[in-house]
Amino acid sequence: MMDDDLPAPARRRCDPLIWGSVLLLALMFGMPHMHAFFAWLFPEQVRPVYLQDTFWSLTLAHAGLVCVSSLIAALIGISGGLFVTHRAGAEFRPLVETVAAIGQTFPPVAVLAIAVPLMGFSAEPAVIALTLYGLLPVLQGTISGIESVPPSVREIAYGAGMSRTQVLLRAELPLAAPVILAGVRTSVVINTGTAAIASTVGVKTLGLPIIIGLSGFNTAYVLQGAVMVALLAIVTDAAFEHAALRLTRWRRT
């Protein structure tokens, strides 16, 4: 199906994905050539453009860190949500929700401060911090999605001779998918912005220009890193919106 097959409101909602991606790509490759612009904005800076690393490599590294941590959070959150919304794990629901809530409220910086002395300056502490921080939205989305499935659907499925696994895979998950996807979307977007702090422990991300800019009183670097992180978050959110529209259309056909 082509984008032209989508209704006009859907195409309009996909516009941020198009212009955001174009602008992100333009800045990734064009930032080194914007010396005159940032020199005009910040005339007091001798080096107004961050050149220690390419923004292309920083964006890829940033996205990779987000993908790994978000994938782990999605696997744990969806599995936990499915477990506590069924009879076998119902009694563990308060415990699971409490643990996930603690992960959300515990600052990622604090997690890094605890993990770095044990694991050293590497990506592992950052992955742990981002996974804990992104777990709650996925768990809540999964629980809400499964609970939104009408009991009559399960009754019909069991009446048709389906097993519990078949009911889950063929009835519950397809109906709960939009709500689960919304939880994953929130988690990924949150982690996209939060991943910048990983540069404080030596991980290459788009937070590197921000950290270096703050330590060197270079506002131009801070602005460049912040704009790139914001654009990446916008593109990520728009991509999930596009996926949700596709999913909704697929369910109706």
Q: What is the pLDDT of residues 31-56, one digit of tens each?
A: 989 999 999 999 998 899 999 999 99
Could you tell me the domains of the chain?
Answer: 52-252 (1.10.3720.10)
CA distance 168 to 29: 46
User: Over the stretch 118-167, which tens digit does the pLDDT of each residue have?
Assistant: 777 778 999 999 999 999 999 999 999 999 999 888 888 888 888 888 88
Q: How confident is the model at residue 74 (pLDDT cuts 50, 70, 90)?
A: very high
Q: How confident is the model at residue 250 (pLDDT cuts 50, 70, 90)?
A: low
Residue 236 has pLDDT above 90, yes or no: yes
pLDDT score for 196? 93
Mean pLDDT for 187-198 is 93
Predicted local distance difference test score (pLDDT) of residue 1: 41
Q: Tokens 């996909």, residue?
A: 14
CA–CA dist 80, 142 (Å, integer): 8
Global confidence as pTM:
0.87
